[in-house]
């Protein structure tokens, strides 16, 4: 870890202790990774997750307030803007327990609209925010191999650098304002959601035309139609119609949320986004058809409920 060099007397204190609230699929590997270089305190409502955290170098706490008390940083991985607001300012919100000069590192995709009022409230009590939505997954989180985009003031980034360095293999600073990270992640999710939906339609059409899907996917990935999402989700789409379905690596309802954020952002910018809107409808239909907790590759079943070829 490298401490940023600034004029003596103005150098921000870098993070040495971190509170991680929520030790689920992403929270626990991130907390474990951070514990290799920092003091980490964690809290989760599930006792078994606390026990796992304790065995992996994280100090388990009896409450969120205990985890946050005196911490230099709070790492948050929440589901959406409503949960972010509740964790910080709800009935048992922890914002009041954050010390002055602390920094909140938000790793979730919640959208700029949800983040801005949170930033204003935290800054009013002397707490910085680093807007750092990430991509990767549990395995990459545990290895410090996440892709992170950051929007934050230089001072906030300097404070949180030890946290970011431990989690990210690729870190891109996209702006000096909290919210800039959310903005870029929104654009990213527009593309990802559209690519997944397009891959589902393409493979559904191939199936309807009687093509061998394995050969079709291999041929598409060898040409100009190839994309990361086609190659990644396409393989799982071939398993979508099996009894057990594809392994859940990214739930379909995450894209219901994220494409909703995309739509909100486009409307706020007075920008037409018809392709994104069409993709959002496919994910919404999937959720109403009982696929919300399935892997997002199951969107192929929305346009092709039953597979013809095998």
pLDDT for residue 12: 57
* Residue 18 dihedral angles phi and psi, to the nearest 5°: -130, 135
Number of neighbours of residue 263 by Cβ within 10 angstroms: 16
Cα distance between residue 84 and residue 80, in whole Å: 6
Residue 280 φ then ψ, to 5°: -60, -40
Q: What is the mean pLDDT of residues 193-212?
A: 98
* Cα diameter, the chain: 71
pLDDT range class, residue 7, cuts 50, 70, 90: very low
Residue 80 in contact with residue 86, Cβ under 8 Å? no
Burial environment of residue 224 by CB neighbours within 10 A (0 to 12, 13 to 18, 19 or more):
exposed
Sign of CA dihedral 167, 170, 176, 180: negative
d(CA 95, CA 151): 20
In angstroms, the CA 148 to CA 30 distance is: 13
Report DSSP state, residue 4. P
Element (H, E) at 232: helix 228-237
pLDDT tens digit sequence for 151-191: 999 999 999 999 999 999 999 999 999 999 999 999 999 99
* Residue 308's pLDDT band (cuts 50, 70, 90): confident
Catalytic residue among 159, 185, 257, 301: 185
Give the mean pLDDT of 134-161: 95
**Mean per-residue pLDDT for 260-279?**
98
The confidence band for 10, taking pLDDT boundaries of 50, 70 and 90, is very low
The model's confidence at residue 14, banded by pLDDT at 50, 70 and 90, is: confident
Kindly give the residue spans of alpha helices, DSSP state H, lying in 56-153. 64-68, 81-89, 112-124, 138-143
Pairing mode, strands 128-131 and 39-43: unpaired
Domain boundaries of the chain, sorted by first residue: 17-177, 183-303
Domain at 17-177: CATH code: 3.40.50.720
Residue 213 pLDDT more than 50? yes
Query: Known catalytic residue: 301?
Result: no
CATH class of 183-303: mainly alpha
Distance CA 52, CA 140 (A): 18
Q: Average pLDDT, stretch 30-50?
A: 96
């Amino acid at each position: 870890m490298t401490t940023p060099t600034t004029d003596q007397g103005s150098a921000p204190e870098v993070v040495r202790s971190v509170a991680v609230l929520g030790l689920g699929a992403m929270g626990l590997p991130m907390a474990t990774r951070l514990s290799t270089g920092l003091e980490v305190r964690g809290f989760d409502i599930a006792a078994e997750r606390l026990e796992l955290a304790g065995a992996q170098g994280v100090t388990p706490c009896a409450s969120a307030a205990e985890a946050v008390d005196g911490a230099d940083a709070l790492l948050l991985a929440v589901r959406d803007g409503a949960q972010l607001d509740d964790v910080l300012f709800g009935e048992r919100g922890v914002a009041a327990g954050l010390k002055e000069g602390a920094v909140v590192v938000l790793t979730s995709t919640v959208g700029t609209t949800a983040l801005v009022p949170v930033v204003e409230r935290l800054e009013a009590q002397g707490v910085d925010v680093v807007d750092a939505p990430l991509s990767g997954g549990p395995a990459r989180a545990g290895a410090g191999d996440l892709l992170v985009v950051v929007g934050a003031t230089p001072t906030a980034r300097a404070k949180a650098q030890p946290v970011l360095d431990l989690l990210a293999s690729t870190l891109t600073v996209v702006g000096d304002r909290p919210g800039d990270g959310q903005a870029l992640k929104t654009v990213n999710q527009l593309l990802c959601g559209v690519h997944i939906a397009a891959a589902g339609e393409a493979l559904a059409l191939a199936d309807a035309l009687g093509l061998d899907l394995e050969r079709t996917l291999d041929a598409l990935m060898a040409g100009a139609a190839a994309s990361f999402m086609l190659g990644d989700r396409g393989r799982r789409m071939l398993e979508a119609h099996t009894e057990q379905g594809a392994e859940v690596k990214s739930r379909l309802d995450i894209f219901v949320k994220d494409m909703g954020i995309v739509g909100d952002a486009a409307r706020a910018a007075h920008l037409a986004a018809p392709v994104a809107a069409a993709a959002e409808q496919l994910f919404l239909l999937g959720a109403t058809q009982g696929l919300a907790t399935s892997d997002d590759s199951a969107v192929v079943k929305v346009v092709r409920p039953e597979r013809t070829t095998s």
